[in-house]
Amino acid sequence: MHQRRLQLVLHPRTAAEASVHDAVERLRADGCRVRVQVPDSPAGSQALAARVASSGSVDTVVAGGGDGTINAVASGLLSVPAARRPALGILPLGTANDFARGCGIPLHDPLAALRLVVEQPALPIDIGRCGEYCFVNVATGGFGAEVTAATDPALKQALGSVAYLLTGLSRLSGIHAQQARFSSGERVWEGRFLGMAVGNGRYAGGGVDVCPDARIDDGLLNVTIVPDVPEADITRALAHFMRDGTVDAHIPRVGWSCARLRIQPSQILHINLDGEPLRVTDIDFTVLPAALRCHLPRYCPLRRLP
């Protein structure tokens, strides 16, 4: 095992987990230098990652938490010049862990996830941008984003990703379509939609495959739009979508890939950005190709290149 200098940024909810402490001690016993800090907020995690990156004191900053923690750490790393930017490591300890799931990073074995960081080389990945905000995984809008925002944090802690399913099923009767225009160069889609996703990664909401053609190293974002359907089909079809993570024949799906996308909704659109809610009225999505280096499994399903 190569000696590495790691900074582990832990979400407060995971800081007391014995399996994390044991994994860190195993790495230290193997000769790795591992520092651990527990910021009290996403802003604190972002600031810590930026500060550590600027210092040049570590090789890799490891995000220990869910997709929101990964987003915060990645945003902090991106705030410093590329030449001084440490690599990103991922220790999935969140509710959904959708980016780690898509990459094939071990979800329930902290030691295996940390060994991946020290044993596998860091490879360049793209980063998405939604206006001034970055995202590593997926931005969703419409019904799915509303469900994520409405899910009780205590329910997520108790039930994990099942909490999203329960919240979604409880809100099916309140589904309503929104009107918007989606444009990327000559490709334009305009109409009423139930949900949308712009993906650098594939999964959202605890394993729902919202952007099946997304890759993290192709310089593109994958766009998925779920158009409005007859009211009689909505409840059954979306229940199927949230339960199985797939779209059945009753809900068509429009999709393409692009480097830039503009969304112009007719009213305020709720966006969920790697777990963090936003409200927008007119937004541009872009991609930053090969913006970060990230430790990934040798055969990562989200990579285009071998």
Mark whether 276 is an active-site residue. Answer: yes
Nearest-angstrom CA–CA distance, 216 and 158 = 31
Which one is catalytic: 25, 146, 190, 276? Answer: 276
Nearest-angstrom CA–CA distance, 234 and 139 = 22
Exposure b/e, 103-122, CB count within 10 A at least 16 = b? bbbbeeebbebbbbbbebeb
Closest CA to 198 of 234, 236, 170, 224: 224
- Show the 3-state SS of the chain: CCCCEEEEEECHHHCCCHHHHHHHHHHHHCCCEEEEECCCCHHHHHHHHHHHHHHCCCCEEEEEECHHHHHHHHHHHHCCCHHHCCEEEEEECCCCCHHHHHHCCCCCCHHHHHHHHHHCCEEEEEEEEECCEEECCEEEEEHHHHHHHHCCHHHHHHHCCHHHHHHHHHCHHHCCCEEEEEEECCEEEEEEEEEEEEECCCEECCCEECCCCCCCCCCCEEEEEEECCCHHHHHHHHHHHHHHCCCCCCCCCEEEEECEEEEEECCCEEEEECCEEEEECCEEEEEEEEEEEEECCCCCCCCCCC
Residues annotated as part of the active site: 276
